Structure 1
Amino acid sequence: MSRNLKGLGIVLLFLIMLVSPKAVFAGASEGLLLWFQIILPTLFPFLLVTNLLLVTGNMHLINAAFGTFLTHVFGVSPNGSFAVVTGFLCGYPMGAKTAADLTEAGYISPEEGRYLLSFCNNSSPVFILNYVVWKTLETDALLIPTLLILILSPVLVSFITRKSFLHKKEAFHNLKKNGLTKSAWSFQEIDRCIMDSFETLVKVGGYIILFSVFLSLFEALPVIIPGVSALLPLLEVTNGLGLLREMQLPLQLLYPAVLGLTSFGGFCAAAQTQCMVHKAGFPILPYLTQKLAAALTASLMGSLYLYLR
């Protein structure tokens, strides 16, 4: 029954695309441009360097700088602190990919990997500044509070989720592994890291194009379905922020909505995350619950800030 329903859904989507070729083309073009102009140049350098640090074992240099502090704050292992750094600084889906890669390579336990996934997969500060504050909210006055709220909301969620992962331990510990640290590297390793980075980027781009097509098809519907327009921004965060801006909502409604969407990341980011972590065996439903909790926290903090300022 489930298989038949999925098949009917795919056939229905195919028929809708056949009768709406203009909307499909527009959505695919917009998604491709978003990937090529923003995601590719923004994400590729971080993917490549992160892969190199993992392959050569030199991530211990990052761990030495941040590991002690992050272990005390989040209860992660020194190796796990590398995922915290990439997850908060590099943007979707780097946190998820790093947590999965560390788990698959034996640097951290699967349990710690799932814990890291619960709060380390977030929008990057660059995206928050450029797209959220300057392009969507269009006011420098909200720059600092927006950054703080979007960083603090997953941190607050981590304080709650850690209890179910640490099991009364103070922190996770590094897993021992022979040959963990390597000092030499070669161009063959760089080649492998480049190909792995491009494979990740192609998957990310595919999901962005797919969800951009979904968004374009919904917008092209000849009838307005009550409630659908309000849910469309949840499909993909970048296009979703644009839709929120076009709604011309008052700041008291726009600001919490923007914070919530940016913290959640949209269903496109969730699909990208699932793609990054399925080999590591991380379940996606707990991740979605935790992201929704972070989104609700960010929205409430945004409303409270506007009320108090």
Structure 2
Amino acid sequence: MKRNLAGIGIVILFAIMLISPKAVFNGASEGLLLWFQIILPTLFPFIIITNLLVCTDSIHYISGAVGAVLKKIFKVSDNGSFAIITGFLCGYPMGAKVTADLIGSSYVSEDEGRYLLSFCNNTSPVFILNFIVWKTLGKEELIAPSLLILLGTPMLMSFFFRRFYLKGRKQFSGLKEAGHTKANWNFKIVDTCIMDSFETITKVGGYIILFSVILELVRSAPFEFPFITYLLPTLEVTNGIALLGKSALPFDMQYCAILALTSFGGICAVAQTQCMIQKTSLSILPYTLEKLATAVVTSLIAFLYLHFT
């Protein structure tokens, strides 16, 4: 049944694309420019370096520096602290990719991986500052609260999510200790990491282009469905934030909606995350529900900030 529905949906999308070539071209162009001008230069170097850190067993240098603090706060292993750092600083879908890599390399257990995925796959601070605060909102006074809300809420939610994954344990333990495997530095490792990084960034770009095309097709339709129009920003986070910023909503509703969407990441980010974790046993459904819950709490905190400060 699901396969039939998916097939029918794809056929309908194909037919719409055939009769709307201009919208397809515009959507693909916007998605490609977004990927080439923003995602590629900001994300690709971090994908390469995180691949190198994992492949050369060098994550212990970072986890050793901050792992003691993160272990006490989030109850993760030393190796798990590396996913927290990358997930909060590098942007979507690096938290998911690093978590999957740590599981695949036997640095963390699958239970710890599920816990890490629940709160470590987030928008980067650079994106929050540049695109949300400066470009979309244009209010520099919102820099500190936006950063605190968007980075602090997933941390807060982790205290609730951990109850489902610790299963009576006080803390997660790593499956193996980083830094004990002798890594031979050679160009073969570098080549492998670069090719893996190209595959990852290409998949991310493909999803961005696909969802940008769908978004443009809906926007260019000769008729409107109010329900679909309201859900349109959730397709892709960057375009969605721009749509919300240009909408006629009052500023307080705009701000809460933009922060909620940023916290969730959009359906495109969910698809990217599924792509990153598909070689593990991690499930996309719990992740999606956890991100939606985090988005609701984010919007509530943003509302309280605007009305009580």
What is the TM-score with the length of structure 2 in the denominator?
Answer: 0.98
The residue that corresponds to 1:193 in the other structure is 193
Deviation above 6 Å: which 4+ runs of structure 1?
none
The CA distance in 2 between the partners of 1:278 and 1:99, in whole Å, is 12
Deviations 1:26-85 (A, max 9, x none): 000000000000000000110011001001111100011111100000010000000000
Aligned to 1:173: 173
Q: Tell me, what secondary structure is at the counterpart of 1:174?
A: coil
Deviations 1:220-240 (A, max 9, x none): 111011222111000000000
1:263-308, Cα deviation, whole Å (9 max, x unpaired):
0000000000000001011100000000001101110000000011
Q: Is the Cα contact below 8 Å between 1:150 and 1:259 reproduced in 2?
A: yes
* Contact residue 63 and residue 82 of structure 2 kept, 8 A: yes
CA–CA separation in structure 2 for the residues paired with 1:182 and 1:40: 32
2:30 paired residue number: 30
For 1:69-108, list aligned pairs within 5 A.
69-108=69-108
Equivalent pairs, count? 309
**Alignment map for 1:1-309 (pairs within 5 Å):** 1-176=1-176, 180-309=180-309
8 Å contact from structure 2 (residues 108, 174) kept in 1: yes
Measure, in 1, the Cα distance between the counterparts of 2:258 and 2:108.
34
Q: Deviations over 1:185-234 (max 9, x none)?
A: 11111111110111000000000000000000000111011222111000
* Unaligned ranges ≥5, structure 2: none
Amino acid at match of 1:147: L
Determine if contact 2:106/2:175 at 8 Å carries over to the other structure: yes
Gapped regions of structure 1 (runs ≥ 5): none
Q: How far, CA to CA, are the matches of 2:218 and 2:308 in structure 1?
A: 38
Alpha-carbon deviation of 1:249? Answer: 2.2
Q: Please report how far the alpha carbon of residue 4 of structure 1 lies from its aligned counterpart in structure 2 after TM superposition.
A: 2.2
Q: Structure 1 stretch 113-122 or stretch 176-185: which is displaced more?
A: 176-185
| Deviation, structure 1 residue 176 | 2.6
Whichever residue aligns with residue 73 of structure 1, its letter is I
AA partner of residue 33 (structure 1): L
**Does the 8 Å CA contact 2:58/2:178 hold for their aligned counterparts?**
no
* Root mean square deviation of aligned Cα: 1.2
Q: How many percent of aligned residue pairs carry the same amino acid?
A: 60
